[in-house]
Amino acid sequence: MNSKTIKLILLFFVLSSLLFAQGAPKLELMILDTKVNMTQSEKEGRTQISYKPGDIIRYTIIASNVGNAVLTNPLITDPIPKGVSYNPYSAKGLNSVITYSVNDGRLFQSWPPKYSVKDENGQTVVKLASPDMVTHVRWELTKTLTPNESHQLEFEVIVK
């Protein structure tokens, strides 16, 4: 092979790799927490924010595609922190399917989640889970995230 043929072959491979190269999506999450029922002095910054039973905390999750390719149907799963319980019907997220786990994220189901127990006769009985049994919230986005696009999700918890 002469040098001209080798250069043409190399040029073909370089152009082919550029033509068929694909970028990679990359999901980045930012989670913000806000006390919903702040006192006036907490809002004004005169006192430090403190939490007591019954206080509501809103978690806002910003899911961003910081990669250079389209992210298809990302799953975002957030555990419920210890010392709080899920506030029913508070999970939100446009263009997403929201599901819940009551078994540490092993199985997800729509609201209201259910669980199985054996009754006194050894029969399996399905019961509705209480909000304090929810261990994780999951969002499956039903629309793609293009590079540099973000999507906002949220849920609330109640301090125990």
pTM: 0.81
The C-alpha atoms of residue 85 and residue 160 are separated, in whole angstroms, by 7
The pLDDT, as a whole number, for residue 3 is 58
Print pLDDT tens along the chain (160 aa). Answer: 555 555 545 445 544 444 444 689 999 999 999 999 998 998 888 999 999 999 999 999 999 999 999 999 999 999 999 999 999 999 999 999 999 999 999 999 999 999 999 999 999 999 999 999 999 999 999 999 999 999 999 999 999 9
The pLDDT value recorded for residue 128 is: 96
* Predicted pLDDT of residue 18: 43
In the numeric block, which tokens belong to residue 159? 């301090």
Q: Domain 23-159 adopts which CATH fold?
A: Immunoglobulin-like (2.60.40)
Residue 130 burial class via C-beta count within 10 angstroms: exposed 0-12, middle 13-18, buried 19 and up: middle
Q: What is the rounded distance in angstroms from the CA atom of residue 79 to the CA atom of residue 101?
A: 9
Domain spans of the chain, in order of start: 23-159
CB 86 within 8 A of CB 80: yes
